[in-house]
Amino acid sequence: MARERRPSAQTAAVLVALARAGAQWSHGYDLCRTLGLKAGTVYPILIRLTERGQVETAWESDPPRGRPARHLYRLTSSGAALASTAEASTHADQPAPTPGVTRLAPRIV
């Protein structure tokens, strides 16, 4: 029986970013820039999520001249469910606000 594990903060960030993109395809490099994570972190997460059926992949069909096709990523329905769970647990883990102190949330575009 497989044990249900909570995704790491980096995996949760990737899931939430893909969820916010909706049905649109995302490039790994764009995810790296948006999340402020290195490629050595993001690509293994994308590979793992793909192997688990939570992310689907495709190759860019018509790349601009002079650039190779890029790999594209988007969430499957099970990935979208995991993303909503990850986003909810991320908000639950944040400490209660201190009166008079403003905290800025991390920016995930």
CA distance 71 to 54: 16
pLDDT tens-digit readout, 64-89:
899 899 999 999 998 998 888 887 76
Q: Which residue blocks in 2-108 are alpha helix, DSSP H?
A: 9-21, 28-35, 39-51, 77-92
Phi, psi for 90 (deg, rounded to 5): -65, -45
pLDDT at position 2: 63
CATH fold for the domain made of 9-90: Arc Repressor Mutant, subunit A (1.10.10)
Written as one letter, the residue type at 102 is T
Higher pLDDT, 101 or 39: 39
At residue 71, the 3 state secondary structure works out as strand
pTM: 0.75
pLDDT tens-digit readout, 12-49:
999 999 999 999 999 999 999 999 999 999 999 999 99
pLDDT at position 4: 67
The residues pairing with 59 across neighbouring beta strands, listed in sequence order, are 71
